[in-house]
Amino acid sequence: MKKVTMADVAKKAGVSKSTVSQFLNKRFEYMSVETREKIAKAIEQLGYKPNYLARSLKQKRTSMIGIIVANIVHHFSTEVSRAIEDFFIEHDIHAILCNADNDPKKERRYIEMLQAKQVDGLIIFPTEQNLDLYKNLVESGYPVVFMDRKVDDVNIPSVKVNNSEATEAIIQHFIEYGHERISIVTQPLTISTRIERVNGYRKAIKENEMELNEDFIIRAETKDINSQLKLLFAKKNPPTALIAGNDLVFLEILEFAKENGLKIGIDFSLAVFDNIPFAHLVTPAVTTIAQPSYEMGEKAAQMLLSLIEKENSELQDVVYNCQLLIRDSSRIVRTK
Amino acid sequence: MKKVTMADVAKKAGVSKSTVSQFLNKRFEYMSVETREKIAKAIEQLGYKPNYLARSLKQKRTSMIGIIVANIVHHFSTEVSRAIEDFFIEHDIHAILCNADNDPKKERRYIEMLQAKQVDGLIIFPTEQNLDLYKNLVESGYPVVFMDRKVDDVNIPSVKVNNSEATEAIIQHFIEYGHERISIVTQPLTISTRIERVNGYRKAIKENEMELNEDFIIRAETKDINSQLKLLFAKKNPPTALIAGNDLVFLEILEFAKENGLKIGIDFSLAVFDNIPFAHLVTPAVTTIAQPSYEMGEKAAQMLLSLIEKENSELQDVVYNCQLLIRDSSRIVRTK
DNA sequence: TTGTACGCGTTATCAA
DNA sequence: TTGATAACGCGTACAA
């Protein structure tokens, strides 16, 4: 794999390296047409491709950014990442996607690796467990934007949704349809997003003067959700409506229902956080609390770019509203 | 964002750059314990992080590979990419994921971009439309592996499944359940995968001495599939069984069925290529022709790594078998 | 309009 | 056991 360098092109064209460099950077103003053509021909013949690596080293800019998602299996992460990648490709910036797998150690490793690779900036779905590291990033002035989650006491701008309000809204919806026992099912409360949702849950229950039953708040790893649901539904007064924290939880609920012969929309109502691509196609169609993932990704990308280009060093958090998409799975009216 | 370099560490520790480099590369054999400690302390205090970029320039190896998928929305691509990334991360190699979006121009652009970035190798879901480019890659000795598709006349090893045989198997299954009019629905026949499946379809129909109806072979862009299905089902003798070419086609079929009040498993039977994550959870559960996507990704990654490390320059194509997962959507017995 | 020379942060070679 | 020096491939003053 013989590499052809600028020097080779220069020799072939009978000019100096700098002239070739000029050519590549399209500074034709002071270049004779002949030289220009000679160089073009030489490049063509040799099949020369500039080495971005060397250029990056010199320019101290790699035109690469890193995305660290908490859990790549989560559909929301995928959508957001896609948006970020799309945005940056328009600016000739490549994204490297890393999956921290909800593991703070992996997150740390990736952050350090990406910095070593000199990426120009980072968009992180933080595990929220590496405070010192986040603070280091801020101090060293590294361009970073947080996604989906917020970390207190760290001055990094974040893009997220109004989790609390969205949860209140879906509960309001359930109440209007006559539900009196509503349960929320989520993964462990290690991150702000889930905490906010449970806070919204508590608030809504309280404000509606309903009984707050702690057993109705399931916070468990996905692998344990099925058994927890079994316990919940074995109670004398099981819930009549469930709120699923994300698409992964939703699949667990589906599995639970299937195994236990419960029909969604009949035996219990259901609403799910996240965009489920097939939500409107299954029977019954599933009510979702959709996050504007594409806009969120785009926004974060914009913010990061402005940080990279130093246009703006003091960015505000951005909070999006969720959209409640009512479908059949939550439309049953409960008459006690 | 002041960058601290090896020179800074060297100065602080009172040694030369070369010694620091030795230290970083763990060549401690001929190094006094004191120097070692001095350097370690200096690195610690300055918060020094080696610059991989400079290292890569020198070593002519970036520890990055590129993945170019044809269509990132396709679930199969995601699974394969995940497997590739997982494999390479174990070897401290980062993957850059690019979405060619089924566009040969984009594919070309990405290949060139990734080469300019000096990635160590490429795994490509080829559009099959850039023959000259593929040939160039081979000639320049660039490590490349094709995924999912095969390109004739180009000496690049590929990892794929036995599309033709898998299609024959599903048709055999349908026939056993009494179907006499089976249709295959796929995207346009621009790539080997789809061509092989349609070939398998033709072969199976012929061998079973059934009537080969060209109208029963739908090859259309996803956006046109719905209307094509409408035409198909408006015929006097519509098919009683459908084979969907992938998950995107499947969603179109779901949509079509919903809009026209047709019930899957009742009004027609269905089998789908690809792993649909929720296939067993919906009603009726969907019969799938699963590709071993994770193994395929892993295999391709292994092959690429061996090419990169020059262990092996003549690799064979690898063909995996699909697994037929019979579920309710195809279990109805047709009695004419 | 073009060429020379140096710097970017490493690593490799070879002396010391 | 350590250090000086030359690469790696490109960009850019500054000189010519």
- Full pLDDT tens readout for chain B, 336 residues: 568 899 999 999 999 899 999 999 887 777 888 889 999 999 999 989 999 999 999 999 999 999 999 998 899 999 999 999 999 999 999 999 999 999 999 999 999 999 999 999 999 999 999 999 999 999 888 999 999 999 999 999 999 999 999 999 999 999 999 999 999 999 999 999 999 999 999 999 999 999 999 999 999 999 999 999 999 999 999 999 999 999 999 999 999 999 999 999 999 999 999 989 889 988 899 999 999 999 999 999 999 999 999 877 789 999 999 999 999 999 876 655
Q: Which nucleotides of C are covered by protein (CB under 7 A)?
A: 1-5, 7-13
Q: What pTM did the predictor assign?
A: 0.91
Nearest CA in chain A to B117: A52
Mark yes or no for CB contact A94/B96 under 8 Å.
Answer: yes
| Rounded distance between C-alpha atoms, residue A72 and residue A52, angstroms | 29
Confidence of residue A334 (pLDDT cuts 50, 70, 90): low
Q: Return the number of other C-beta atoms located less than 10 Å from residue A203's C-beta.
A: 15
- Report the half-sphere exposure of A23 (CA within 13 A, side-chain side): 25
Distance from CA of A76 to the nearest CA of B (A): 13
Mark yes or no for CB contact A281/B142 under 8 Å.
Answer: no
Does the beta carbon of A140 lie under 8 angstroms from any beta carbon of chain B?
yes
d(CA B32, C1' D4) / Å? 20
**Torsion angle in degrees (nearest 10) through CA of B126, B72, B166, B244:** -120
What are B199's strand-pairing partners? none
**CA A76 to chain CA centroid, nearest Å:** 6
Out of A97, A112, A136, the one facing B97 most closely (by C-beta) is A97
Q: Identify the structural domains of chain A with CATH numbers, from first to last.
A: 6-50 (1.10.260.40), 61-160+293-320 (3.40.50.2300), 163-291+324-330 (3.40.50.2300)
Q: What is the pLDDT of residues A70-89, one digit of tens each?
A: 998 899 999 999 999 999 99
What does residue A186 show for φ and ψ, rounded to 5 degrees?
-145, 165
* Helices B33-46 and B6-13, packing angle to 10 deg: 130
Residues 8-47 of chain B with CB under 7 A from strand C are 17-18, 21, 24-25
Q: Which amino acid is at A165?
A: E
Does the beta carbon of A117 lie under 8 angstroms from any beta carbon of chain B?
yes
d(CA A13, C1' C4) / Å? 18
**Torsion angle in degrees (nearest 10) through CA of B327, B329, B330, B331:** 70
Which of B1, B251, B278 to mutate to probe the A interface, most A CBs <10 Å? B278
Q: Which strands, in side-by-side order, build the sheet including B182-186?
A: B217-219, B182-186, B241-244, B269-273, B287-290, B323-325
Is-cis flag, bond preceding A284, omega within 30?
Answer: yes
Give the count of Cβ contacts less than 8 A between chain A and B: 91
The three-point CA angle A234-A238-A242 to 5° equals 115
d(CA A10, C1' D15) / Å? 20
| Rounded distance between C-alpha atoms, residue B3 and residue A118, angstroms | 10
Does the beta carbon of A316 lie under 8 angstroms from any beta carbon of chain B?
no
Question: Which nt sits closest to A7, CA to C1'?
Answer: D9
User: What Cα–Cα distance (Å) separates residue B18 from each residue in A239, B39, B218?
Assistant: 68, 12, 66
The three-point CA angle B292-B293-B295 to 5° equals 70
Does the beta carbon of A28 lie under 8 angstroms from any beta carbon of chain B?
no
Q: Which amino acid is at A176?
A: E
d(CA B73, C1' C6) / Å? 48
Out of B53, B72, B282, the one facing A82 most closely (by C-beta) is B72
Q: What is the pLDDT of residues A186-235, one digit of tens each?
A: 999 999 999 999 999 999 999 999 999 999 999 999 999 999 999 999 99
| Rounded distance between C-alpha atoms, residue A58 and residue A331, angstroms | 61
Q: Which pairing describes strands B94-99 and B64-69: parallel, antiparallel, or unpaired?
A: parallel
